[in-house]
Amino acid sequence: MPSIYISDHVRAVQYLHRAVISQNYLMVKEQLRAFVENLWDAYQYQDQFVWVEFSNYHPKWKGQLDASISFADLKKEDCQMVIAKEYGFKDWYAVEQCELAIDHVFSSALNLLLTGKKDALAQLLDEFPDLVHQRSHYAHQATLLHYVGSNGVEIWRQVVPDNLVEITQLLLARGADPLAEANIYGETTTASLIASSDHPFQAGIQKDLLELFIEST
């Protein structure tokens, strides 16, 4: 089994949202409502991991240290804003207007990618070859390839299996577009996400990943 690099903050968010992550939801807004309720409940219990989410996605506290917002007077609307931004939506109203279903085949492919199960992913791509072109059901519209960047997508999925270079080679060989843009920090390519992400750097594979994109463009 491949080892997986997971930063402390990512691991904290995985733990914070473990009950929601483990469930299968039909609709995007149904799942995001569950994330909001979970985040709000955690704040009520003064769970320190809440601040990882807020320091990443709330406009008022983005980039600030946990200590600087630990005594903030938050409302549920603040939790709604955080979750909306994390999943690429303009605001919570946009989430409530979303009628998209969660694509469980895409989610399965993504889980295989992020757990380093290259052979199983290859088999799924044999069955569903268009998966390499497919976009996430979330508003950031990331492809599988964008998740290689471990950046700008949902925090709990910003992990780096040690065979991610080989998995990226697989996606590119199957026709994934290295220049495709997603609604992440504006319109962003995978190479830009990799270059600005600390996760592949800490995992020791950032340079190798970037070289793949230099070779393929």
Q: How is 136-172 classified by DSSP, letter by letter?
A: -SSTT---HHHHTT-SSS-GGG--EETTHHHHHHHHH
Examine the domain organization and report whether 143 and 54 are in the same domain: no
Residue 192 lies in a domain: yes
Average pLDDT over residues 192-205: 96
Residue 10 lies in a domain: no
Examine the domain organization and report whether 175 and 206 are in the same domain: yes
End-to-end CA distance of the chain: 31
Residue 1 lies in a domain: no
| Full residue range of the structural domain in which residue 126 is found | 102-216
Q: How confident is the model at residue 108 (pLDDT cuts 50, 70, 90)?
A: very high
Examine the domain organization and report whether 128 and 207 are in the same domain: yes
Last residue of a domain, one of 46, 81, 97: 97
- Please give the mean pLDDT across all residues of the chain: 94
Residue 142 CA: distances (Å) to CA of 48, 65, 75, 123: 29, 28, 29, 21
Largest Cα separation within the chain, whole Å, is 51
Examine the domain organization and report whether 140 and 74 are in the same domain: no
Examine the domain organization and report whether 67 and 163 are in the same domain: no
Residue 104 CA: distances (Å) to CA of 26, 35, 122: 9, 18, 17
pLDDT in tens, 151-168: 999 999 999 999 999 999
Q: How confident is the model at residue 212 (pLDDT cuts 50, 70, 90)?
A: very high
Dihedral sign (CA 190, 169, 155, 19): positive
Examine the domain organization and report whether 136 and 43 are in the same domain: no
Examine the domain organization and report whether 179 and 82 are in the same domain: no
pLDDT in tens, 33-77: 999 999 999 998 888 889 899 999 998 888 876 656 665 788 999
Last residue of a domain, one of 69, 97, 125: 97
Residue 108 lies in a domain: yes
Residue 126 lies in a domain: yes
Q: Specify the pTM.
A: 0.94
Examine the domain organization and report whether 113 and 204 are in the same domain: yes
Look-up of token digits 């504006």:
186
Per DSSP bridges, beta strands 181-183 and 187-189 are: antiparallel
Examine the domain organization and report whether 205 and 135 are in the same domain: yes
The count of other CB atoms within 10 Å of the CB of residue 63 is 7
Examine the domain organization and report whether 201 and 110 are in the same domain: yes
Q: How many domains does the chain have?
A: 2
